[in-house]
Every structure is written in C-alpha cells, then in structure tokens.
Structure 1
Amino acid sequence: MNDIAPFAPEMLETACEWTARDVADPAQWTEHLSAAEIDELEAAVEHAFGISDDFLQIGKAQFPLPTLGPRLKAIERELMDGRGFVLIRGLPRDRWSNDEMSMAYWGIGAHLGRPWPQNAKGHLLGDVTDHGKAPGDPTSRGNEIGLVGLDFHCDGSDLVGLMCLQTGVSGGLSAVCNSVALHNRLVRERPDLAAELYKPQPFDYRGEQAPGKPGWYLMPVFTRHADRLFVRLIRPYILASQRHADAPRLTGQAIEALTWMQDQAEGGAYSVIMDFQPGDMQFINNYHVLHGRSPYVDDRAAGKVRHLKRLWLETDVLADRPAHFTNRMGSHWAKKASISRMDAV
C-alpha cells in the first residue's frame, strides 16, 4: 500500500500578486530620469569609454552613479519583492549614438546585477530585432524573430531588461503579465494542474545545446524555494521539445496546464500593455512576470525597424536560488562571452 500523500502545491508570495486593474495607471510603474540623472549618466558613459570601449571591461565600479545608483537599488528591490516590472524613461535617444545608448544601458544594468549569457553566441548584451529567421525555424529564438507577436513567456535569468533603440512603423507593443497571480489561481482552482507543472518538463534547446548533449533539457515550470516562487514558462519551447524522439512525452495534464496558463495570460485580467519609445528601458523579474509582444510592421527602406537591446541579469537581492536558476557564466554559452553590436537602421 502506498501511503505517500500526493504533492499539494500552495499559494506563494501573495504580496506580489496584481491584476490589470491594480496597475492600470502607468505612473505607478514608470520612472522618469531627471535632468541631473541624465547628466550623471552622460558623465558615466564618458568615463566608461575613457577606460575601454569593450563593454566586457565595464562593471559597476567603472560606471559611477552616485545619485542614480541608490535609486536603481530601490528599483531592484521592488522588482524582486514587489510589482516585478518597471519602465525607466528619459535616455536622450535623439542626441546619443547607438554605442552611447548601449553603454548607458549596460552601465545601468551593472547597477542592477551581473550579466548572464543569453545564447550559444555568448551574448551578454543582445539584440531584439528582425534577424531574418522564420518563426517555424526550429533553431530560432524569440529575439531573432521579427514582425510576429510573441506568446507570454519568461527568459533564463533573474531579471530581463529591454531598451528601445528604435520603433517600427506600427505595433510591437510590450505586454507583461503577473505569473504569481496565475500560479496562485491555478493552485486554488486546479491544484492537480499546478502540481503537474511542478514536475520537470522538457524544453527545446533550439539547437544551442553543448556538443554531444541532447537537444532538450528538463526543468519545472514552477519551483518553490525558501517560500519564493520561481517560474520558467516558455510554452513554445516545451511543445517544440516533442520533435526530439528521446525527449519525455508531455502528459495530457501538462498540455492542459500549459493551455490554461496561456489562456489566462492572454485574457487580459493579469496583464498590462506598454508602448516603448526610443530610450525607454523595461526591467522585469523573470520569476514573477511573463512578457510578450504584439505583431509589428517594419519599413527597412524608410529606416523604421524595431530594434531593442537586451540584458539578462543576476541580482544580489536573491541570496539563494534553486540550482536550476543559477547564472550560466560557467556554461558553454559563456565561453564565447561577447557583446552583440547590430546597428539600428
């Protein structure tokens, strides 16, 4: 007789839950840089370039922000223990070059955390724009696919940041959704489905696995650690794992749970939409907030091509995290640590 009780998931971090109504006012989550802070950033950019034009040589110490730095630390705490997302507005895109914009963004990122490799190219600063890859390409990643919308998902780090260099002709709205609220609602309404997502699920590596390794890896969608909720949800990658004959097959409950998460995220009750302007920076807590985007239109001939820069960051706010959420700076991805320098059109 089996006396082991079935796993019963519990609601977690209810203080970090929010609904669309709670965050309807953009003033709640928009941080405007002051003229003095922009001057401070400009001086820090000049100082950093005086040390090196290799971004990998620039860290927090090489990018001094005596006034803005403490404000960024408060934002970092809010990201990890509060609302989980922020829009920082005010970088002077109209008078700064691509390199100056990127250095300012890199330096701000250094005050929020340490960089995390984003792909097998080792990019610590990446480009989100149309790379000419088709959505059906099994090796394509979200930052490389242009024009189409992206499902709500999380990236592979504590924090993810996006900075807008340039907008397209239309569309490309950014959306964020509270995954804590979704988790807790699923626990209340369908604990069986929540429990299924605490089990390891197969994710497709998109062809970026280490040599000789399988094209998929196992990871739970939900993890509880020190009474914190950690989420890794990339539904298209989980479904794509099934193209590998040696990957574990998804259960019916897993597919039902993934569909429930997608439907609730897209339903609008737990999400907010923001329209990036050139110079805007968005930072989110990957474990508490999903992000996606609407389809968009580019006009390359007219120089209207949507182009964002991306950072994945490890924060000091988390003193402890599950092993499968540790920074991959020791992985095969990090051996090619580099900065992506695609020019905005």
Structure 2
Amino acid sequence: MTPRLLETACEWTADDVADPATWTEQLSAPEIAELEAAMAVARARSDDFLEIGKADFPLPTLGARLKAIESDLMDGRGFVLIRGLPRDRWTNDDMCLAYWGIGAHLGRPWPQNAKGHLLGDVTDHGKALDDPTARGNELGQIGLDYHCDGSDLVGLLCLRTGASGGLSTVCNSVSLHNRLVRERPDLAAELYRPQPFDYRGEQAPGRAGWYLMPVFTEHGGRLFVRLIAPYILASQRHDDAPTLTDKAREALDWMKAEADSGRHAVIMDFRPGDMQFINNHHVLHGRTPYVDDRAAGKIRHLKRLWLETEVLAERPEMFTNRMGSHWAQKRVISRLDAVS
C-alpha cells in the first residue's frame, strides 16, 4: 500500500499545547455538587458499579461539557486533564464512583486484562521488569515509553502521588504518522503491515502467545494506532511468532526517537483528584520514573478505564470492544487500595 496523510487537523506540536490552560478543564463548585447528586442517585440504584450506567448517573449540566470534551478527544487535540475532584474529603469509593460515572458519559467500559477488570489499577504490583507476564500498569517506579492502550479512550484517575516523579507524558501520534509518511513512506508502509504482539501470558487457553496487528490502520479516513513497542519486541521470545523485519525494527526506532524528541509532546503533573482522558488512536502516553515512600503512605496509585466511544460509527474489526472474549468472561471492579 501507499500510506497517505490522515486527519491533519488533529496534528499538533509541543508549542501548540505548551499552555496547560488549553487542555485543563477545572470543575466548578456547582459541577462538584452535581456530581455528588449523581452519586446519590447511583447509590440508590445499586452499590455495584457494574449496574451503574450513564442513565443512572445524571449530569444535566456537566454532561453537556463532557460531550464537548468527547468531541475534542475524537476530532481535536486528543487529550484532556479534568481537575477538581475533592480528594481531601472524598473516600476512595467516592472518587471511583464519580470517575466511573464521568466515564459512562464518555463511553462503554472495556475489559483491560484476563482478570476482567473494567476499573483497573496503575500502581506498583511488585512485578519485575523481566517478568514475561508483566504489563505496564503493574510495573512500579520505572518510567514507561510512549505507547497506546487497547481501547478508543483511556482514562486515568489519580488517587495518590508517590514521593517524587511519575509525571505523565503524552505525544501526538497523528503528527508522528504524518511525518513518517512525508519523510519515510517505506517505514510507514511497514507499520501498516501486521506486526506480532506478545500476549503477556493473557491469551485464551490453547492459543498462541502472540497475535498479529498493524501499528497503523486507515479506516473511513481515520487513523487508528496500536503501538506498544516492548510487546512487539517481546513477541520474538515465541518460536512460532513471525520474525520482525529489519525495516519494522527501524520503523519502531524512528517512532521512539521522534516521540522522545519532545517535538510533539507535553508533560503534565498529576494531582490527587485529577482525571486524564486520551484518544488512544491519536495520542500516545507514557510516564517518567517515580519513587514511592511506602512508610509515609506516598504510593503512586491511578485508577484506569478503557472506554468504547459512541462517536465512532464504525471501526476496524481489530479495534472493536470484544465483550465476548475470554477477557470479558468475568467483569470485575478492582477495589485495590495500594496503601493497605
């Protein structure tokens, strides 16, 4: 195939997003009150988050603002920081319920792992970097390279920060794609071909430990991206996985170098109560290394949502929410408390 430029209106540079005011949405006191009223409605409906949907979490005013944010996520900048949940007076359960309800206004939950987590955790799970089953959300202290998750949108809610570090980084993958098409169309074409990804031990019973998926896909004039370079490289531990071509390795190196250059990236510092939402197809995310102080209770802990947006009328089959997969056989709300 001959790759072409896609969604140029969604390209941005670091200079375009240098002012945090352009991507920070501060919740007002009336909106917090509206959230608390919605939480009361939801709790009257059920104490099980899995039974709480958009209709059970009414946001007559904030809902319209979230709709505008959703539009910007899918057809604009591709990321947002929503600030202002009162972490100082809300419990973990309060925080998670408000986050779940806001997420319900942005999309349908998507299972994140073989445990069936619809609300998951990004914190130090005590797994080692060389553990072939470890996934990024389970690895503590280290930084994470730019990547995207397996859904339309990914949301992160900050419950606690660590002692230091752990800055969130986002990078515009539309800009990276289009720059690669302009400068190295041969490498772009290689990333449109299916690449092997490591399942990290979470494949269905009896299935291979890897799967095939392109990094770039064009569908309906839109760009869809699935880039997790460590998983692509880790696929080579399986004897039956296709061998990565030299050109694929060169293309992955190009993507990493360009993302790490900072020319299309922004760094933000999470505060407890912050919510970040990202369009996985247009924006990569990562983090800087961090330090926890367990004795002082300063343990970095984020809650995660993967969401299927209603904005996309259709998407490639490989980007669908597979609620019939083995990952969805159990539907679980994780209530991990990293401090316990």
TM-score tier after normalising by the smaller chain length = over 0.9
Normalised to the residue count of structure 1, the TM-score between the two structures is 0.98
Q: What's the Cα RMSD here?
A: 0.5
* Distance of 1:274 and 1:109 partners within structure 2: 21
* Distance of 2:240 and 2:338 partners within structure 1: 41
- Residue 256 of structure 1 is matched in structure 2 by 250
- Residue 217 of structure 2 is matched in structure 1 by 223
Any conservation in 2 of the 1:85–1:283 contact (CA below 8 Å)? Answer: yes
Any conservation in 2 of the 1:40–1:65 contact (CA below 8 Å)? Answer: yes
Any conservation in 2 of the 1:166–1:344 contact (CA below 8 Å)? Answer: no
- Residue 4 of structure 1 is matched in structure 2 by none
State the Cα deviation string for residues 222-264 of structure 1 (Å, max 9, x = none): 0000110000000000000000000000000000000000010
Does the alignment pair 1:84 with 2:78? yes
State the Cα deviation string for residues 191-220 of structure 1 (Å, max 9, x = none): 000000000000000000000000000000
Any conservation in 1 of the 2:147–2:227 contact (CA below 8 Å)? Answer: yes
The 5-angstrom pairing of residues 50-89 of structure 1 reads 50-89=44-83
Q: Aligned to 2:267, which of 269, 273, 279? A: 273
State the number of aligned residues: 339
- Residue 145 of structure 2 is matched in structure 1 by 151
1:224 aligned counterpart, secondary structure: strand
- Residue 110 of structure 1 is matched in structure 2 by 104
* Distance of 1:344 and 1:201 partners within structure 2: 35
Q: In structure 1, what residue type is equivalent to 2:160?
A: Q
Q: In structure 2, what residue type is equivalent to 1:17?
A: E
- Residue 32 of structure 1 is matched in structure 2 by 26
- Residue 332 of structure 1 is matched in structure 2 by 326
State the Cα deviation string for residues 104-139 of structure 1 (Å, max 9, x = none): 000000000000000000000000000000111100
Any conservation in 2 of the 1:165–1:344 contact (CA below 8 Å)? Answer: no
2:213 aligned counterpart, secondary structure: strand
1:118 aligned counterpart, secondary structure: coil
- Residue 128 of structure 1 is matched in structure 2 by 122
Percent identity between the aligned chains? 80
* Distance of 1:300 and 1:339 partners within structure 2: 24
* Distance of 1:285 and 1:336 partners within structure 2: 25
* Distance of 1:337 and 1:203 partners within structure 2: 24
1:329 aligned counterpart, secondary structure: coil
Q: In structure 1, what residue type is equivalent to 2:79?
A: F
Q: In structure 2, what residue type is equivalent to 1:11?
A: L
* Distance of 1:147 and 1:254 partners within structure 2: 29
State the Cα deviation string for residues 161-185 of structure 1 (Å, max 9, x = none): 0000000000000000000000000
Q: In structure 2, what residue type is equivalent to 1:166?
A: R
Q: In structure 1, what residue type is equivalent to 2:313?
A: A
- Residue 167 of structure 1 is matched in structure 2 by 161
- Residue 137 of structure 1 is matched in structure 2 by 131
Query: 1:51 Cα deviation (Å)?
Result: 1.6
Does the alignment pair 1:236 with 2:230? yes
Q: In structure 1, what residue type is equivalent to 2:329?
A: K
Q: In structure 2, what residue type is equivalent to 1:182?
A: L
Q: Aligned to 2:197, which of 203, 227, 248? A: 203
Any conservation in 2 of the 1:157–1:325 contact (CA below 8 Å)? Answer: yes
Q: Aligned to 1:45, which of 22, 39, 42? A: 39
Any conservation in 1 of the 2:123–2:338 contact (CA below 8 Å)? Answer: no
Q: Aligned to 1:94, which of 66, 88, 99? A: 88
* Distance of 2:52 and 2:130 partners within structure 1: 37
Instruction: Give the ranges of 4+ consecutive aligned residues of structure 1 lying more than 2 Å apart after TM superposition.
Output: none
1:318 aligned counterpart, secondary structure: coil
* Distance of 1:135 and 1:307 partners within structure 2: 18
State the Cα deviation string for residues 36-78 of structure 1 (Å, max 9, x = none): 0000001111221122111101000111111101110110010
Any conservation in 2 of the 1:202–1:219 contact (CA below 8 Å)? Answer: yes
Q: Aligned to 2:7, which of 13, 16, 38? A: 13
Structure 1 gap segments, 5+ residues each: 1-6
Does the alignment pair 1:307 with 2:308? no
* Distance of 2:338 and 2:131 partners within structure 1: 24
2:310 aligned counterpart, secondary structure: coil
* Distance of 1:124 and 1:264 partners within structure 2: 32
Q: In structure 1, what residue type is equivalent to 2:296?
A: A
2:39 aligned counterpart, secondary structure: helix
Any conservation in 2 of the 1:16–1:82 contact (CA below 8 Å)? Answer: yes
Any conservation in 2 of the 1:98–1:344 contact (CA below 8 Å)? Answer: no
Query: 1:344 Cα deviation (Å)?
Result: 4.0
* Distance of 2:111 and 2:338 partners within structure 1: 22
1:269 aligned counterpart, secondary structure: coil
State the Cα deviation string for residues 276-328 of structure 1 (Å, max 9, x = none): 00000000000000000000000111100000000000001100100000002
2:121 aligned counterpart, secondary structure: strand
